[in-house]
Structure 1
Amino acid sequence: MTGLVDWAAARARMIMAFIVLSLLVGGFAYANLPKEGEPDIQIPGLFISVPFPGISASDSETLLVKVMETELADLDGLESMSATAAENYAGIFIEFEFGWDKSAVMADVREAMNAAEAAFPDGAEKYSINEINFSEFPVLIINLTGDVPERTMSRVAESLKDKIESLDAVLEAGIAGKRDEMLEVLIDPLRLEAYNVTAGELISVVRNNNQLIAAGEVESSTGAFSVKIPSSFNEPQDVYNLPVKVNGDRIVTLGDLAEIRLTFEDRLGTARFNGETTVALQVVKRKGFNLLDMADDVKAVVARASAEWPAELQSAVYVGTSNDQSRVVGSMISQLEGSVLTAIALVMIVILAALGVRPALLVGFAIPTSFLLCFAFLALMGVTISNIVMFGLILAVGMLVDGAIVVVEYADKRISEGTGPMHAYVEAAKRMFWPVVSSTATTLCAFLPMLFWPGVPGQFMGMLPVTLIFVLSASLVVALIYLPVMGGVSGRMSRLFGRSADALRAATPWWLRAALVLPSLYMVFLGAMQTL
C-alpha cells in the first residue's frame, strides 16, 4: 500500500491535475446537489378513511372500525394499529415494521379492505388509502388577495396553477380557498303544474342525460352508418335546452321549468393570509430536485404571469408568499457554511500557533479538499444536502486534519534535518501510512453501528455516518496522496522564495525593505478581503 505514495510522487504533475480536477468536480457537485431542510423520510404507515354520511360515532365504531380491524389484523409485518370513529366518518392508521415492501403491503391492504367493504352497511362511501410522505407537504404557498370577483380570482389561480405545474421541479400546485363552479337549478312548482310535468319525470330526464354513450359505426343490410350521440353537457346553455316533455307542438325544456344560474358550491373551508381571505396555491416539490432552485423558478413564473395581467388586475390583486421553506433552508445552509468556514479558520489558527505558516496552509488545504471530495461521493450516491449532512461535515472538521498534521509535522522535521522537500514528504507519508489509516479506521468504527440503526430514527440519522465515512475516507486520500505532492512542490517553491528573499535582502538597503512592508501588507489585506 505504501507504494501508492512513491507512485504519486513519481507522477507529481498528474497528481496536481487530479487535485485541480477533484476541486472542480467537488465544487460542481456541491452547486448542483439538491438541498433540503430535513432528510426525505418514508414513514412505514398507511391511513385508511371511510366516509359514511349520517352515521353516529358509536355505530361507526361497531359497523366500520371493528370490521376493518378484523380484516387488517392478519397483515404481515403489522406493528401497530389505531382507529378513530366519529360522526359521518371512520379512520384507521396502520404502521408496519421498518424495511417494508410498500407495493406488496398496499396490495394486501386493498385486498383486506375489499373484504371489509363487503361487510359495510349500505350508505358507506368508497374507502381511500393514503401514505404518510413528508416530501408531499407544501414547501411554498402563493397567496392571491384582493377586492376582485371570486370567479376572476379563481381563473387567475387556475392559470397560475397550470404555469407552475409545467415546471419539472414541481409535483403539484393545489389550490386552497377556491370554490368549484356549479350550475344551480331552482325548480318552480307552479311551472311544473302549468306544463303538466311531474317531479319524477323531471328527475328521470336529468338523470338519464349528461352520460357518455358509446357509439361508432353501425353496420346493416343497407350499409354502414357512422353514429354520433351528443349526450354530455359542455356549457350552461345545454342544460337550459335539455328537452323534458313534448306538450302538443311545443317541446318543454328544463329552462322553461326552472331557473338556472351559474354559481359556486357551498364553502367547506377558507384560506387566510395576513387577516384577509385568499386563494392559495400550495406548491409541492418533486423528489430529487433542489428546493432553492425550485422556489426561485416558481417565483419567477409568478412574476412573469402577473406582469402580463391587465393594469386594473395588477393594481387589485396582491401576490404574496408564505410557508417559504427555501428561506429556512437557505438560511440554514448559509449558517452551516459559515460554521464550517469558522471551524476551518480556528483549526488553521491552532496549527499556525503550533507548527508555523506553511504547515497551517497545507493542513488548511486538506479541509476544503476533503469536503469537496466528499460532495463528489455524495453526488455519486444520489444523497441530498440536508442539515444532517452539514452537521456531519462540522463534526468531521477536527478529525479529518489529524492525518494531515502528522504527515506535515514529520516532513518538516525531516526538512529541518536537511532532507529535500519532496523526499521528506514522501518519507513522512510512507512512515505514517498505517498509523494514519488505523487512526481513521478506529474513528469510522465508532460511527459504523449508526448505519444499522433501525426504524425511522435510523433513516433520519443515517446520513450522518455516511457523511463521516465519505469525508474521512477523502481525508486519507488527501493526507497520504495529495499532501506529499503538494508539500514537495510547495517546499521547492518556498525554498526558491527563500533564496530570492536572501538575494533581495543582500541587494537592497534596509530603508527600501522597510518601505515595502506597508504596501505588501495592504496587498495581502486586499487579497484576503476579495477571497472572503
Structure 2
Amino acid sequence: MGLTKLVLKRPVSTVLAILCLIVFGLSSVMKSPLELMPDMNMSMMIVMTVYAGASPDDVNELVTKPIEDRASTLSGLDTISSQSKENMSIVMLKYDYGTDMNDAYDDLKKQMDLAKAELPDDADDPIMLELNTSIMPNVIMAVSHGEDDDLYNYVNNNLVPEFEKLSSVAEVSLVGGAQKHIKVVLMPEKLKQYGVTMNSIAGDITGADLTYPAGDTEVGDQKLAVSTEQPFETMESLKDIPLTVSGGNIVYLGDVAEIYMGADDMESIARYKAENGVPEDIVALTVSKQQDAATLTVSKDVSKVVEQVTKLDPTLQITVVNDDKDSIMSSLSSVIETMILAIIISMVIIWLFFGDLKASLIVGSSIPVSILASLILMQLMGFSLNVITLSALVLGVGMMVDNSTVVLESCFRATDDTGFKEYSKAALTGTGVVYQSVIGSTLTTCVVFLPLAMLGGMTGMMFRPLGFTIVFCMTASLISAITVVPLCYMIYKPIERSSAPFSRPVEKMQAAYRNIMKKILKKRGLIMLASVLLLAFSFLLAKNLDTELMAEDDQGQITITAEVKPGMKIDKIDQIMKEIEGIVSQHPDVESYFTMAGSSGLSMSSDPNISVYLKKNRNMETDEVVKLWKQQLAGIPDTNITVEAYSQVSAMMGSDNDYTVELQSTNYDDLKAVSDKIAAQLSDRPELTKVHSSLENAASVVKVTVNPIKARAAGLTPAQIGGTLNNMLSGVTPTTMNINGDDVDVKVEYPKDRYKTLDQVESITLQTSSGKSVALTDVADIRFADSPASITRQDKQYRVTISGIYTENSTKETKGQLLTDVVMPNVSGTVSIAQNSQEESMATEFTALFQAIALAIFLVFVVMAAQFESPKFSIMVMTTIPFCLIGAFGLLWIADSAISMTSLLGFLMLVGTVVNNGILYVDTVNQYRRDMDLNTALIEAGATRLRPILMTTLTTVVSMVPMAMALGDSGSTTQGLALVNIGGLTASTILSLLMLPAYYSLMNGGGKKRVIISD
C-alpha cells in the first residue's frame, strides 16, 4: 500500500516515470530482433561427406560406418543416426540437453580428423555443422542472364563472392545449370601408342602448374626471393605440357588429348515459374544466415547486393523466390493485429459493465504501460520478437486486465462508501481492499511458469521465452494495477452508471445466484456427485482427441518430394518433375513454384523436390490442396511422391500426418525381407493406400569387388584400383586455370562412350608402378547388385520406414489394429519394432510438460497456503483446477483440435489462472464471516464478487477468441493454447461460483456454527 500512497501523493513524478517507461519501451521494440520462432539450439551436430559416384551401399560401408565408429567414442551423445545416399553420407549426432556445443564441436573435429585416414582417397573431407534453424536457406533466388550461355560459372564467379562477403551470411549454394570447364578428352589409342596412363597425365598437369621456391638472391641492398613457375594463361598453353613416357621420347598433352571448353551433362535442375509466367530454367542461389544474425538483417543485406549487381548488369534477372522476411512480417503482423483486437475487446467489456468511457480508458491505459515494461525486460533477456513471445503478450492482455479490473471495481465500491467528492480516498481504500488478493492471484499465475525455466529439450527452448514474457506481463500489470489505476481513477473521476448495458443483467444474475445457492447448499452431496460425473465425462472426451507434437502453422507453402531410384539419369528425373509440374500448375490457387533436382550445396536436399507457393487469397486451405495432390500424383510411375504442407515447425520437428511404422535390425538382409513382407500385407488392407517401404525403391548397380590377395600379387592395392576406376569413369581435376579473371577447372576424362556398357568396364586394364598391365577382371569380381535409394541407421542398427496413406475406411483405432494384425506377427529374429521418431519426441516432450504441470500445482498450493495461512483453504481453492478440464477438453473436442505441446502449455497456464477467482471468493468469504454466519457469507461473497469475476473472466476469455480462431499465417501454432484457456476458464468460473461454496461449507461444519476469523 505504501507504493499506492506515494503515487497518489506524487502524481507528476508518476506521470514522468510513465513517460520514461514509454520511451525506453519503444526503444526496446526498435532494438529487438524480429524472428518467426525463438532461437532453437537443437544440441545436434551433422557430419556430411560427399563421395562422388558412390552407391548408397558403398557410401554406407566406406564412409558412414567409419564416421559412426569414430563418433561413438564421444561423451555426451544421446543417439547417432545416419543416412547413406547416392554420393552423400549424412551422420546426425544428438547430444544430451545442456551439452556445451563448442566443446562438442572441438571433440568431434578431433575424431573426424582421425576418420579422414580411414575414408576413401577420393571422398571429400567430412563437413561438420551444428544443427539449428540457421542452416536452412533464408533467401532463395532464381537467376537468369540473357546474354550468357555459361550461366552457372557466371553466377558462381560474379554473384556468389558478393553474397559471401556479407558478415550475416554463413553459406551460399547453387543448384541448376551446367558448369563449364576445360575438357582434356583423352584419345585411348594414343595413350596405348605412347604408353601413358590417365593418372600419369593428371600428375604431369599438376606438376607443370606448380610454383616452386628456388631460394633468394641479392640485388644491391635488397634480398629477393626466387621462384620458378609455369603459368597457364590459355587453353593452347595446355597442349604444350610435356608428358613422361618410356624410352625418353617427348610427347605433349596435345598429342594424346583434345582440349576445349565444354560442360558435362546436366547434374542438377532448377526451374522457376512465376505468377502468370512460364516455367524457366534458371540457376537457383540460396543464402543461409549466420546463427547469431537476424533474419531481417540478412534479407536487407541480400536485397542491397541484388540491387547493386542488377544495376551494373541490366541483362541480369534475379527473382526472389522465397524470403523468410515475408513470412516473419506476415506472421508477426497478424499476431499484433490480434493483440490490438484483444485490447479493444477488453476495453469494450469494461464499458459494458461500468457504462463510463473513462473507466475503459483507465483499464486501457494500464495495458500499454504493462506491455512496454514487459518489452524492456524481454530486450534485457535477449528475447527476439517472434510468434511465441508476441502470443504471450496477447495472452497477457486478458490477464493484465484482471488485476486492473479488480482494483477498479473495488474503487467504485469504495466511492459509494466515501462519497463522490473523495476520489483520492476511494482510490486508496479500494486498492487496499483487494491488495492481498491481486498479489496472491498474480503470484499463483507467475509461479506456474517457474517449471518452464527448468525444462530442457525442445519444450524449454521454445516455451521458456513465453513463460518469462507472461511473468513480465503479470508483474508489470500488478504494479500498474496498484499505481496507474488508482492514479487515473483519482484524475479521471469516473462514475459508475446504473444505465450501463450490463448493470441490470448483472443485478438479475446476482439475485438468481442468491436463490440458487440457497438450494445448492442444502444439497451439497448431489452437487459433489454431479461435478465428479462431469469430470469423468471430460476424460472420455479426451480419449477421443488426437495427439500431435505441435500444430503446424499455415504458411501457404507445399513441398513435393519425389524419391527416385539411385542412378536414375537426370533426363528421366526431369521428365518426372515436369509431369508433376503439369498437375501443380493447373491448380488455380498456385501463385508460383520452384523445382530443384540434384544438389551442389550441402544445405539442399538430394531428393528432387518442388516448392509450391499458394496465393494469399486462395479458395482452398493448404491441407486441402495437399490431400488433393496426394491423390492426383499417386499414379506417376518410377517414383514415390511425398506431399507435405511446409512450415518452419515441420522443418524443425518433422511431420507425421499419415501411417508410419519403423523397424530395426542389425542385419540388413533380415530387415529387407521382413519389411517387404509387411509392406505387401499392408497394401492389401482397405484402410491404407500407397503403401511404401523406404527400402523398396532399389536399383541395379555394378559391384566391383576387389580380391586383395590377387591385387597384391599383381602389384596393386584395393585403394589404387578404386581410385583408378573412379578417375577413368568420372574423370579427374588436376588443376584450375584463371581465364579472364575467372577460375576454371581443368578436367581430364575419357570420351563419353568409352566406358558406357558393362562389357567396356570389364575390359579395363590397370597399370602397376612397374608399368605392367593387369586386366581388371584378373583382380576383381564384377557383378550386378540391388542398391536401395538410401540406407538409414540409428545407433548402428539398420532402420526401415513403412508408410501409407489412410483411406476413408480408417478409424482412430486403425494404427493399433494394423500393428496387432500385420506388423507384430511378422517381426522375429533380429528384427524388432522401433519407436517412431515423432512418437519418441512426443513422449519425451509430453512427459516434461506433465512434470511441469505437477510441479506448478505444488507451487500454487504453497503460495496459497502461505497467503491464507491455512492449507485447508488452499486445498479448497485448488479443487477448481481439475474441473477446468471439463471445459478445456470439451472445447478441444468441439473444435476438433489435437492435444499438443501448446495445448498442454495451456493446461499449465490454467493451473495458475483458474484459482484466481477462487482466491478472490475465499478471501471475501473470510472477510464476511467476521459479521455473518457461514451460509450467508458464502452466498453474499459470491453475489458481491460475481461482477468482478465475470469481468475478469470475460476480458481474459474474449481477448483470446481471435487467437483461438487461428487468424494469420501462424495462428495454428498457438490455437490449442487459447482453446484450452477459453474452455478451462469458462468451466472453472461457473463451477467455482456454484461448487466452491459447497466445498467451503463441507470443510467448515456445514454452516451449523459461526466461525470468527481474527484479524
Cα distance, 1:226 vs structure 2: 3.2
2:450 maps to a residue whose letter is L
Cα distance, 1:372 vs structure 2: 1.6
User: Is the aligned partner of 1:380 residue 2:380?
Assistant: yes
Cα distance, 1:363 vs structure 2: 0.4
2:299 maps to a residue whose letter is A
1:155 maps to a residue whose letter is Y
What is the match of residue 343 of structure 1? 342
Q: Distance in 1 between matches of 2:282 and 2:251?
A: 43
Q: Which moved more, 1:389-398 or 1:117-126?
A: 117-126
Q: Which moved more, 1:318-327 or 1:353-362?
A: 318-327
Cα distance, 1:384 vs structure 2: 0.7
**Contact 2:431–2:482 (8 Å) recurs in 1:** yes
What is the match of residue 209 of structure 2? 210
- Counterpart secondary structure, 2:448: helix
User: Is the aligned partner of 1:291 residue 2:290?
Assistant: no
RCO comparison, higher one (Cα < 8 Å, 6+)? 1
User: Is the aligned partner of 1:328 residue 2:327?
Assistant: yes
What is the match of residue 476 of structure 1? 478
**Contact 1:175–1:281 (8 Å) recurs in 2:** yes
Compute the TM-score of the two structures, normalised by the length of structure 1: 0.78
1:384 maps to a residue whose letter is S
What is the match of residue 359 of structure 1? 359
**Contact 2:150–2:179 (8 Å) recurs in 1:** no
Q: Distance in 2 between matches of 1:294 and 1:57?
A: 36
**Contact 1:197–1:245 (8 Å) recurs in 2:** no
1:464 maps to a residue whose letter is L
For residues 294-333 of structure 1, what are the structure 2 equivalents within 5 Å? 294-310=298-314, 313=315, 317-333=316-332
Q: Which runs of 5+ in 2 are unaligned?
A: 274-278, 496-1015
Q: Distance in 1 between matches of 2:167 and 2:68?
A: 41
Question: Which of 458, 466, 484 is the matching residue for 1:456?
Answer: 458
1:267 maps to a residue whose letter is M
What is the match of residue 24 of structure 2? 25
For residues 393-408 of structure 1, what are the structure 2 equivalents within 5 Å? 393-408=393-408
RMSD: 3.6
For residues 88-237 of structure 1, what are the structure 2 equivalents within 5 Å? 90-119=89-118, 125-145=124-144, 147-151=146-150, 154-155=153-154, 158-187=157-186, 202-214=201-213, 217-218=216-217, 226-233=225-232, 236=235
- Counterpart secondary structure, 2:449: helix
1:97 maps to a residue whose letter is D
- Counterpart secondary structure, 2:346: helix
**Contact 1:142–1:282 (8 Å) recurs in 2:** yes
Compute the TM-score of the two structures, normalised by the length of structure 2: 0.43
- Counterpart secondary structure, 2:450: helix
Provide closer, same or farther for how the CA distance between residues 202 and 309 of structure 1 changes in structure 2, counting only shifts above 3 A.
Answer: closer
1:446 maps to a residue whose letter is V
Provide closer, same or farther for how the CA distance between residues 115 and 243 of structure 1 changes in structure 2, counting only shifts above 3 A.
Answer: closer
**Contact 2:363–2:404 (8 Å) recurs in 1:** yes
**Contact 2:169–2:287 (8 Å) recurs in 1:** yes
Cα distance, 1:288 vs structure 2: 4.7
1:149 maps to a residue whose letter is D
For residues 233-248 of structure 1, what are the structure 2 equivalents within 5 Å? 233=232, 236=235, 239=238, 242=241
2:459 maps to a residue whose letter is P
**Contact 1:429–1:484 (8 Å) recurs in 2:** yes
Provide closer, same or farther for how the CA distance between residues 88 and 346 of structure 1 changes in structure 2, counting only shifts above 3 A.
Answer: closer
**Contact 1:34–1:288 (8 Å) recurs in 2:** no
**Contact 1:157–1:279 (8 Å) recurs in 2:** no
- Counterpart secondary structure, 1:321: strand
**Contact 2:183–2:262 (8 Å) recurs in 1:** yes
Cα distance, 1:445 vs structure 2: 1.6
Q: Distance in 2 between matches of 1:98 and 1:426?
A: 50
Provide closer, same or farther for how the CA distance between residues 300 and 57 of structure 1 changes in structure 2, counting only shifts above 3 A.
Answer: closer
Q: Which moved more, 1:102-111 or 1:345-354?
A: 102-111
Deviations 1:91-120 (A, max 9, x none): 432211111111222233334444555555
Q: Distance in 1 between matches of 2:61 and 2:35?
A: 44
What is the match of residue 391 of structure 1? 391
1:133 maps to a residue whose letter is N
**Contact 1:452–1:458 (8 Å) recurs in 2:** yes
Q: Distance in 2 between matches of 1:160 and 1:88?
A: 27
Deviations 1:376-400 (A, max 9, x none): 1111111111111122112111111
What is the match of residue 516 of structure 1? none
Q: Distance in 2 between matches of 1:73 and 1:294?
A: 36
What is the match of residue 81 of structure 2? 82
- Counterpart secondary structure, 1:262: strand
Q: Distance in 2 between matches of 1:302 and 1:425?
A: 60
**Contact 1:359–1:409 (8 Å) recurs in 2:** no
Q: Distance in 2 between matches of 1:351 and 1:398?
A: 12
Q: Distance in 2 between matches of 1:59 and 1:309?
A: 45
Q: Distance in 1 between matches of 2:164 and 2:312?
A: 18
Provide closer, same or farther for how the CA distance between residues 34 and 233 of structure 1 changes in structure 2, counting only shifts above 3 A.
Answer: farther
User: Is the aligned partner of 1:466 residue 2:468?
Assistant: yes
Q: Distance in 2 between matches of 1:298 and 1:61?
A: 38
1:295 maps to a residue whose letter is S
Q: Distance in 2 between matches of 1:93 and 1:387?
A: 28
For residues 10-21 of structure 1, what are the structure 2 equivalents within 5 Å? 10-21=9-20
Provide closer, same or farther for how the CA distance between residues 185 and 461 of structure 1 changes in structure 2, counting only shifts above 3 A.
Answer: same
**Contact 2:400–2:473 (8 Å) recurs in 1:** yes
Cα distance, 1:339 vs structure 2: 0.8
**Contact 2:153–2:180 (8 Å) recurs in 1:** no
- Counterpart secondary structure, 2:227: coil
2:24 maps to a residue whose letter is V
Q: How many residues align?
A: 481
**Contact 1:33–1:290 (8 Å) recurs in 2:** no
**Contact 1:176–1:270 (8 Å) recurs in 2:** yes
1:307 maps to a residue whose letter is K
1:228 maps to a residue whose letter is S
**Contact 1:45–1:131 (8 Å) recurs in 2:** yes
For residues 487-502 of structure 1, what are the structure 2 equivalents within 5 Å? 487-491=489-493
Q: Give the percent of matched residue pairs that are identical in Structure 1 and Structure 2.
A: 26
Q: Which moved more, 1:200-209 or 1:37-46?
A: 200-209
2:181 maps to a residue whose letter is M
Cα distance, 1:18 vs structure 2: 1.6
**Contact 2:144–2:151 (8 Å) recurs in 1:** no
- Counterpart secondary structure, 2:150: helix
**Contact 1:98–1:456 (8 Å) recurs in 2:** no
What is the match of residue 423 of structure 2? 421
Q: Which moved more, 1:465-474 or 1:61-70?
A: 61-70
**Contact 1:16–1:485 (8 Å) recurs in 2:** no
Q: Distance in 1 between matches of 2:176 and 2:85?
A: 25
Cα distance, 1:128 vs structure 2: 3.0
Deviations 1:442-461 (A, max 9, x none): 01122222222221232122
**Contact 2:388–2:466 (8 Å) recurs in 1:** yes
- Counterpart secondary structure, 2:144: strand
Provide closer, same or farther for how the CA distance between residues 119 and 436 of structure 1 changes in structure 2, counting only shifts above 3 A.
Answer: same
Question: Which of 258, 277, 280 is the matching residue for 1:276?
Answer: 280
Q: Distance in 1 between matches of 2:306 and 2:444?
A: 53
Q: Which runs of 5+ in 1 are unaligned?
A: 496-532
1:465 maps to a residue whose letter is G
Deviations 1:458-505 (A, max 9, x none): 2122221111111112212222233333333334xx79xxxxxxxxxx
